Amino acid sequence: MEKIMNENDIRNLLPHRYPFLLIDKIIDLKKHDFLIAQKNVTINEPFFQGHFPDYPVFPAVLILEAMAQATALLDFKSNDRPKDLLYYFVGIDKARFKKPVYPGDVLMIKVNLIQSKKDVHKFTSECKVNDELVCTAELLGAVRSKNDT
């Protein structure tokens, strides 16, 4: 699949950096509708030293974080946002984990915008590995100024 955004493009929109930048590329996008992202899960990720040393499994909470980063990218690509804004992950509902994710897997993340009210947005999201569903969730994100306290 062709990249719509590479890691450098993503780094220009998100404040996250290694090891917490969990999106490698964007492969499809329709503004104000959906985004499909990819995360290559490698054994070199630092959390595999402790999760779990003899049976490495990608932490489920990081699957949710990857989904949240994908929602932020959809918002920032859909709207002309000033640079002083951050996108906050503010809520989650109906999270379900169907299968574990392992080193070597390619995690495909799809987020769909389902509702927007002012600066708060609701999304459905699903993650797949080899076209098999591994996680679903509903996420809430909010846009805030970096200067808000």
Give the single-character DSSP code of 34.
E
In the numeric block, the tokens 């719509």 are attached to 4
pTM of the model: 0.94
DSSP designation for 99: S
Output the six-digit token pair for 94. 């109906």
How many angstroms separate the CA atoms of 1 and 147, rounded?
Answer: 38
Dump pLDDT digits (tens) for 22-37.
Answer: 999 999 999 999 999 9
Q: Quote the CATH superfamily of domain 7-145.
A: Hotdog Thioesterase (3.10.129.10)
Max CA distance (Å), the chain:
47
The residues assigned a catalytic role are 51
- pLDDT tens-digit series, residues 51-91: 998 999 999 999 999 999 999 999 999 998 877 889 999 99
